[in-house]
Amino acid sequence: MARERRRGSARREGVVVPVSDQGYEKELRAEQEYVTGLYARLDAERARVKGRYSETLRSRGTTLVERDAEARALAKEIKRLDVADNGLCFGRLDSVTGARSYIGRIGIYDDANEFEPLLLDWRAPASQAFYIATAASPQRMRRRRQFRTRGQQVVDFTDEVFGHPGDGERGDAALLAAVNAPRGEGMRDIVATIQAEQDRIIRLEHPGVLVIEGGPGTGKTVVALHRVAYLLYTQREQMERNGVLVVGPNTAFLRHIGRVLPSLGETNVVFTTAGDLVPGLSVTAEDGPQAARLKGSLRILEVLKAAIADRQRVPEEPVSIELSDVTVRVGADIADWAREEARGSGLPHNQARATFLEVLTWALTERAIKRIGEGWLTREDREAWENMRADLRTELAEHEGFAELLDELWPVLTPETLLAELYSSTDRLRAAGADEALWRADGDAWTVSDVPLLDELVDLLGRDTSAEEAAAERERKAQAAYAEGVLDLLVNRADHMDDEDHLFATDLLYGEDLAERFVERDTRELAERAVADRDWTYRHIVVDEAQELSQMDWRVLMRRCPSHSFTVVGDLAQRRSAAGATSWEAMLEPYVPGRWLYRSLTVNYRTPAEIMAVAAAVLDDFAPEVKPPESVRSCGVQPWARQLTVDEMPSAIEEFVRDEECREGTSIVIGPPGMPGTVPASETKGLEFDAVLVVEPEHILADGPRGAAELYVALTRATQRLGVLHEGPLPPALAGLYTSK
């Protein structure tokens, strides 16, 4: 393979071949003309769809539901067409047969022939050669041309001409330009520069769990997001019905990656952190390693079940309930029988309360009837027996003391109430067989590790639907009353019209029928509905920094994706959580036995070789069995270290920030947790910056058993420049840093 260089020469089969400026300019004009035509076709299609959208909104020939569905579909299509403006066409493939194909963000077809593509969607099967063709395996292609564009203008192009095997792997000036470019506010898509090893992963059709592991800078996150875009393209109907969930380590990371899928025209995606998987919950605290490990283990399930059982009680002493004609006593015998029946029902705790109440009520009414009717009432007198039973049941249902006793013996519980009261009571922890490391004074100061427990308790406890059902019934009656009022107005109005001019509304509708018209429809987008609904299930889930997830976290996610279709992204060497994964097999095999695949990415596109050499020394110290990813480039700038006094440190940090503000790109200061003016390494996972200043690396190392992994993360965030400030001696792994004065 060889690369033709613009304006001067081309390298073909290792031989430099003259290429005239005139010939290049002619080719460039021809490509510009073609791309201009694509934009004209895009504008025409956009105008057509917007016209249909306007017509749909004005239409009166369809039902409201049909009109709403069509309008939503057209609105999505408008968004898809709008995002295609930026980098609409980024390349061309020439086959050995002479056929040409242009590759871009979306597919565009000829008006005269709807089966003739003017522009191939990058996800189409015919586009794959653009990403994987090499000299050794040209995929029946003769040339790959890559455009560099600015707006709608083709600035220049670079050609790769495929020839004899042995010319090497794909050389990519477009790739190097992209990885060397200054970073902006968020992650960019890589649709124009996807590499062969990435493309093969993106297009995998595996229906189960796909694990993508790679060291820092290997592009595993952006590959996972492009795989989502590919699945949405190939399985549009199934994927859009339920949407896709993307789980990231923190909100900064989600903001960083948030524009990638919209830039590819995909919007039915929910972005969240593991701490936000329970709607409405606010995480305000952090567990220590021991508590996190205990909560993340599946053994916590037995603690939760025992904690629920502990709230299902029998009275220590009989409790008297005074009714109008008789006093009944609730003793341990009756309550224990009712409890066993309720537990044996297999229902969640709150639903099983009805069984507990039913058995208790039956036993008490039986005893009451026998006492009241002693000497004169027999079971043969069925009518009198049933009448008395009905009266007693009504009296018990309205009895304040009985209601209080019921709440004491079998209370309605919420996940938050149960867990908060468990954590804040050593007695309850002991009764549930839990380790006292779970105790905390503020029971409802929720942590990320509490989220899967609260989610599990939703199913173990079930919901108390009585209040919801009563509210729904009141709402239904109110709507019916409103509709009846509307009908009365229509009828009264009709009474004042000529017989031939009016039609009585009551001939057409009853009040409850009309009430249905006033029910508010849910007009939220899929992502809005999904994030607010704990019971929503997704078609596919992406999990980033997956090495941090515990066994309990995985239960939550598996529950939200019944098909168990996942793209899992992580790096075991970067694990920080005490409850996280130590092996992918141990974590996934219990859930998807034989249904998970492992793929690795080995090339570092982010971190230049000079910086990666420093990070690799740290990696070798704590994970010598892990091979660091190989950087594709050098930046020519050596990372440096400077030793300062504690008083000099703040001004040195300010100087770095001030200097970087004068440069193009992004920067960050990373330090140990709690250090003023710095960001902890754990909050920078998955992010990248042009310049990184690491402060007090020895303190980062000393921050718990995973301190070395945190330092490794900190060092590998930089794409161009890395500096280190330290007060004490440098850790041995960093001894090779250039010393700056």
Binding-site annotation: residue ranges: 214-221
Q: Considering only CA atoms, which of 375, 406, 368, 357 is closest in space to residue 390? A: 368
Residue for token pair 């009944």? 328
Q: Considering only CA atoms, which of 606, 562, 290 is closest in space to residue 449? A: 290
Q: In whole angstroms, how far apart are CA 389 and each of 379, 382, 405?
A: 12, 10, 20
- Alpha-carbon gap, residue 115 to 120, rounded angstroms: 11
Report the half-sphere exposure of 691 (CA within 13 A, side-chain side). Answer: 19
Residue for token pair 């025409």? 44
Q: In whole angstroms, how far apart are CA 591 and each of 190, 211, 542, 584?
A: 32, 14, 16, 11
Specify whether the CB–CB gap between 708 and 621 falls below 8 A: yes
- Please report, as a single letter, which amino acid is at residue 437: A
How many CB atoms sit inside 10 A of residue 188's CB? 15
- Alpha-carbon gap, residue 81 to 42, rounded angstroms: 7
Q: In whole angstroms, how far apart are CA 450 and each of 443, 455, 535, 588, 603?
A: 11, 9, 18, 21, 37
- Please report, as a single letter, which amino acid is at residue 369: I
Tokens (6 digits) for 267: 């919007």
Residue 625 φ/ψ, nearest 5 degrees: -80, -10
- Alpha-carbon gap, residue 220 to 202, rounded angstroms: 10
Q: Print the SS3 string covering 129-183.
A: HHHHCCCCCCCCEEEEEEEEEECCEEEEEEEEECCCCCCCCCCCHHHHHHHHCCC
Q: Considering only CA atoms, which of 120, 90, 108, 100 is closest in space to residue 188? A: 90
- The H or E element spanning position 641 is strand 640-643
Residue for token pair 């009756």? 334
- Write out the binding residues for ATP: 214-221
- Alpha-carbon gap, residue 143 to 145, rounded angstroms: 6
- In three-state secondary structure terms, 542 is strand
| Burial (CB count <10 Å: 0-12, 13-18, 19+), residue 110 | exposed
Tokens (6 digits) for 279: 């709607």
- Alpha-carbon gap, residue 191 to 158, rounded angstroms: 17
Q: Considering only CA atoms, which of 72, 8, 38 is closest in space to residue 523? A: 72
Specify whether the CB–CB gap between 272 and 246 falls below 8 A: yes
Residue for token pair 């920094």? 545
Specify whether the CB–CB gap between 186 and 257 falls below 8 A: yes
Greatest Cα pair distance in the chain: 121
